[in-house]
Structure 1
Amino acid sequence: MGYLLLALTIIIGLFAEGAGTWVRANAPSLNAPPAYAVQPWLAYKSAVQVYVEQHPGVSGSLDLDTLGLQGQTAALAQAGNSIIATPGQTTVVTWMAMPANAQADTLSLSDGDHSIGLSNGTSWTSPWFGDMGALPLMVPAGDIVSVVILSGTGF
C-alpha cells in the first residue's frame, strides 16, 4: 500500500509540474507587445511585396485599400511603403514605428527574414548582417524597416 501511495504521489507531482510548465510557457508575457504591432506589419510587408510582384512596373506608394488591408487602418496607422522602379530592378521599402519589444518580436516572428532591420534614418542595420548601407529614401530613425530588391522587369 505504501508503494502505491508513493507512486501515485510521484505521478500527480509530475503531472502538476508539467501542467505548470505548460501554463508558464503558453501564458502571455506581461511584457509582450500587443499583437497589432507585430502580425499586421508582417502581413502589410508581405502584401506590398506580393502586389509589386503581381504588378511589375508599379512605383510610388500603395494605400491600405489597394492592398486589401482597409480593416487594419488603426494597427497600420504608422506604416509606410515606397516602391522605387528603375530599369532592371524595383526596390520595395516598408516601415513602421513600434516599441522596441515589438520590434524584437517582429524580428523573431519573421523567421529569419533577412530583409528586415532597423532604420537609422538614411541607413539601416540588420540583426543578422549588421550595417546594411543606405536606404533609398528617408525612413524615421528607430522604425522597423524592410528593404527588398527585385531584379528584372517581369518578376
Structure 2
Amino acid sequence: LFRVVATTRSPPPVPQPRPVPAKQQRPPLNIVFHFFPICCCKSIKVAKSCERICNFDVLNKKTLTGMFLGTDPCPQSHGLDLMQCAAQSEDHTQCCIERGVHTTSAGNKCLGFCNMRPGNTFQADVSMLPCWSVLNDIKSCFRDHIQNN
C-alpha cells in the first residue's frame, strides 16, 4: 500500500526594500556648515581662544579684523589654520575668480585667501584689508565645495 502525504510549498520570499547606502544619507547642510570647521579645528588643536571662530557665521570681517589688529582673543597666528579648516584645505581659486574676489583694490592678493592647500604659507597683511569686502564670496566658495562633495 502506498501512502499519500500532502506537502505544501512555502511561498516565494517577498523582496525586502534595500536600505539607502550611507553616502546618500547626508545631514542637513546647516549642520555640515556648522560642525565641519569645528571638527577640523579640534583635530588640528587650534587654541581654545580660537575654537569659537571655527564656524562659518563667526568667521567674519569683524572677527578677522580683530585678529589682525590683536584685539581678538584668538591670535593672528591661527588665522591660516582657521581658513584652512573652513576651506577643507582645498584650492578654491577658480571659484573665487568666478565670483570676482580679485576685483578689489588689493587685486590678486585676495586670491591668497582662496588657496588653502597644505603647505600654503599665505600671510595676510594690511594691504589685504580690501579683501574683507569679498569675504562672503570666498566663504561661499568654501560652502559650495562642501555642498557638492
TM-score normalised by the shorter chain: which range applies? under 0.3
- Structure with greater strand percent: 1
- Structure with greater helix percent: 2
Structure exhibiting the larger radius of gyration computed from Cα positions: 2
Q: What TM-score results when the alignment is normalised by the length of structure 1?
A: 0.25
Q: What TM-score results when the alignment is normalised by the length of structure 2?
A: 0.26
